[in-house]
Structure 1
Amino acid sequence: MPEAVAFGYDRKQEVKQFDDTKAGVKGLVDSGITKIPRIFLHSHEDLPKSSDHGDNPSSIKIPIIDLKDIVHDGLRREAVVAEIREASASWGFFQLVGHGIPTAVLDEMIEATRSFHEQGAEEKAKIYTRDPQKKVRYSSNFDLYQSKAANWRDTVGFIFDGSLDPDDIPMVLREATMEYKKHILGVGETVCILLSEALGLRPDYLRGMNCGKNHTLIAHYYPPCPEPKLTLGTARHTDPTFLTILSQDGLGGLQVLHHGRWVDVSPLHGALVVNIGDLLQLVSNDKFKSVEHRVLALPNGPRISVAMFLNPSSDEQKLYGPIKELLSDENPPLYREFLVKDYIVYYFSNGLTGSALSHFKV
């Protein structure tokens, strides 16, 4: 732990002072700082090493899967299902092309996110909140008061659970968000079907589990950092979701932990990044993997990404556990059954600290 973090200041007070500005990390950058505040200093153990900043061998790349022609070409579909099975089992991440979403829709969502975060602080402050019940919220670091070190990013998010009024979405984001949501959910449905088939289940199986009933969209803004080697854009973590679908700009910085090595998820214009969430690893009984990933802090920017989280309803009373059709004497359940809300509460009580799956092991 850096000395500045370990000694000599009241972290709780500085966290509150930062939070009370309601201006986020963007506000710090706009103020002209050349040194990052101590609350953003990460421990040496968590910070990237020099070998983590790219330079990956060309043979180590996130799988890229092309969905083109899978509807009308049965052999092509079988090949894609096999590719998704392998990527989900060995990487937990893959990039999708040929998904059918116009590039303009993705670009407009990125630009609308930029416009929101780059408007005046007083306008953004109107929806600044840490209330998890709010369907529309802007903040910096959802786990600001739980984490040991803050991340160098701000976020605006929307919970689409059937009760959100689109008119509550800020005007600068509204049209792009609703168009983006419509297209992304279509891709999400297709991916859930392919994942069901990849598990050897009927195509509608995961959808029948309500795996994508609730949708949370979060739009991250990572301002340029004056001391990027001392902090992170997002600390290493897994997602507490069934599935996450991400669109990112061309700046880079997203990394996935693969066989003990951090691998860059190189931006590919028009592609979507898909990753398996904790809940899907759990119900698949570890056939598919939810892997740790992180975002580097960068000296240039801003970096912008937009993620759609697909989940069951948090108030669903059905117990979730390993899918019975996947179990046998040779493949017994690795996890106990649970309520989704219990998993979510446990995950968020710990902040971004890796995976929560071990807590639910049998």
Structure 2
Amino acid sequence: MVVSRNEKIEQDDSSEYDRKSEVHAFDDSKTGVKGLLDAGVTKLPRIFLNNQYVSEKKSDPDVISAFSIPVVDFEGLGNSAAQRADIVREIKDACENWGFFQVVRHEIPLSIMEKVLQGVRQFHEQDSVVKKEFYSRDITRKVTFNSNFDLLKSLAANWRDTLYCVMAPNPPEPEEIPEVFRDVLIEYTEYIMKLGLTLFELLSEALQLKSDHLKDMECAEGLLVAGHYYPACPEPDLTLGLSGHTDSGFLTIVLEDQIGGLQVFHKNHWVDVPFLPGALIVNIGDLMQASRHL
């Protein structure tokens, strides 16, 4: 007998199962998804079974050839008003039609970006005893590590751990940041804040507003760095690293590892975001729509 993916999940859910207890037991371990892998788990715990079709997110070759996420080249941004206007037009078109775009030649050194990714991996792959001191769901803490920010209320957990660092407007003391990630995070923050300000200026101009409009709204004041980690999964067809979702009210800059896997839902199709060395992915959420009416 062939059992479909959904049927398997329904069978698992039909048996006696105390989801709340399993969720709290997992959370109380303070080791995250990586801790399950380190413990030798070979079967996916039920809290991670996801009814959202993974197959729906598989890319169609015809779609890949038909759609391509916009790529905006920042080279020459400060050279002339004409070049800046061209970049603003590209961003405007990308925002209106996609809500996403990739930025290349943005002046953040590739070496810094690679060190950030390496630092995130090193944090998540170090001994669990070291990580436990950062494990928390206290949103008032500036540096925390946990698995699934919505673990206690979501219908299905994602196979993902995350290190969160609130770096602006009031950054943590250096000693509060994990040692393996500390120096490069502080350096990366300086670059990303500068790039964020530039993006807000260009987005303001794309809205036909003064370049400092979004800055004056204090949109460029805050910065949260979230370092996601997706360990190998024993049953990858039954769960997701990140569920389908929409973003609102925030400008998100994504530094993607070469493994890839990120997709954008565009015109009723899931479109792969190709990995481009040195590129940053910008997700504007509902920011521009909201800002235009303020």
Structure 2 residue identity aligned to 1:270: G
Q: Describe the SS at the equivalent of 2:117.
A: helix
Does the CA contact (< 8 Å) of 1:238 and 1:278 recur in 2?
no
Alpha-carbon contact 2:74-2:105 (below 8 Å) kept: yes
Q: 1:268–1:88: structure 2 CA closer, same or farther, 3 Å change rule?
A: same
TM-score, structure 2 as length reference: 0.93
- 1:266 maps to which of 257, 264, 274: 274
Matches within 5 A, 1:208-247: 208-247=216-255
Shift of 1:76: 1.7
Deviation at 1:280, TM superposition (A): 3.6
**Alignment gaps of 5+ in structure 1:** 285-321, 324-362
The AA in structure 2 aligned to 1:65 is: V
Which fold has the larger relative contact order, with Cα–Cα distance below 8 Å and residues 6 or more apart in sequence?
A: 2
SS of equivalent to 1:130: coil
Alpha-carbon distance in 1 for matches of 2:22, 2:94: 42
**Quick one: which of 95, 104, 109 aligns to 1:102?**
109
Query: Which residue, 252, 276, 279 being the options, matches 2:260?
Result: 252
Query: Which stretches in structure 2 are left out of the alignment for 5+ residues?
Result: 1-5
2:40 counterpart of 1:32: yes
Q: Which has the larger strand fraction?
A: 1
Q: How far apart are the structure 1 equivalents of 2:171 and 2:181?
A: 18
Cα shift at 1:31: 1.8
What letter corresponds to residue 196 of structure 2 in structure 1? G
Change (3 A) 1:167 1:91: same
- The one-letter code of the counterpart of 2:95 is S
Query: Greater share of helix residues, 1 or 2?
Result: 2
Which residue of structure 1 lines up, in the alignment, with residue 68 of structure 2? 61
1:111 lines up with 2:118 in the alignment? yes
Within the candidate set 138, 145, 166, 2:152 is matched to 145
> In the alignment, does 2:16 pair up with 1:8?
yes
Q: Secondary structure at the match of 1:61?
A: coil
Secondary structure at the aligned position of 1:171 is classed as coil
Distance 1:158 1:237 in 2: 22
Whole-Å Cα distance in 1 between the matches of residues 76 and 15 of structure 2? 60
Change (3 A) 1:83 1:116: same
C-alpha offsets along residues 125-157 of structure 1, whole Å, 9 cap, x if unaligned? Answer: 011001111111000001001100000100001
- Give the TM-score, by structure 1 length: 0.76
Q: Match for residue 206 of structure 1?
A: 214
Deviation at 1:200, TM superposition (A): 0.3
CA distance in 2, matches of 1:217, 1:96: 18
**Which of residues 23, 47, 57 is equivalent to 2:53?**
47
Three-state SS of the structure 2 residue aligned to 1:229 is: helix
CA distance in 2, matches of 1:59, 1:180: 35
Displacement, 1:281? 3.1
1:98 maps to amino acid: R
Percent of residue pairs bearing the same amino acid type = 45
Counterpart secondary structure, 2:144: strand
Instruction: Determine the structure 2 residue equivalent to 1:133.
Output: 140
Does the C-alpha gap of structure 1 residues 125 and 54 become closer, same or farther in structure 2, counting only changes over 3 Å? Answer: farther
Give secondary structure in 2 for the equivalent of 1:267: coil
